[in-house]
Amino acid sequence: MLGLGYLIRFRGRVELIAGYDEKRVRDPEGLARFVGTNLLLLGAGAFAVLALEFLIPGYAVLFFVIYALVAVPLVSFITVRGSSRYEKRDS
């Protein structure tokens, strides 16, 4: 996620975004910033969970479950909903 987030956010590789269609997007740079940043957040969260699992091994499953069942769906939902502001409007 960190690698994809970097490529999309800082290198503008919007073609790496699933379902990307240049005909439907009015602001590819904005979309790249938004989606790339969210991927970087998910990657940083995964890294934080890994660190917490090493520091507090008794709660490893809890940390993973919270990340997998709360953080990932929440950020994914925000990304999908927020991406619509970069789509072309029908006139």
Domain parsing of the chain, residue ranges: 2-86
Residue type, 1: M
pLDDT of residue 68: 97
- Do 21 and 43 touch, CB atoms closer than 8 A? no
CA distance 64 to 83: 27
| pTM for the full predicted model | 0.91
pLDDT by residue, tens only, the chain of 91 residues: 999 999 999 999 999 999 999 999 999 999 999 999 999 999 999 999 999 999 999 999 999 999 999 999 999 999 999 999 999 987 5
- List b or e across 24-38, with b for residues whose CB sees 16 or more CB atoms inside 10 angstroms: ebeeeeebbbbbbeb
Q: Rounded to an integer, what distance in angstroms lies between the CA atom of residue 61 and that of residue 48? A: 14
Question: What confidence score (pLDDT) does residue 47 get?
Answer: 97
- State residue 23's pLDDT score: 94
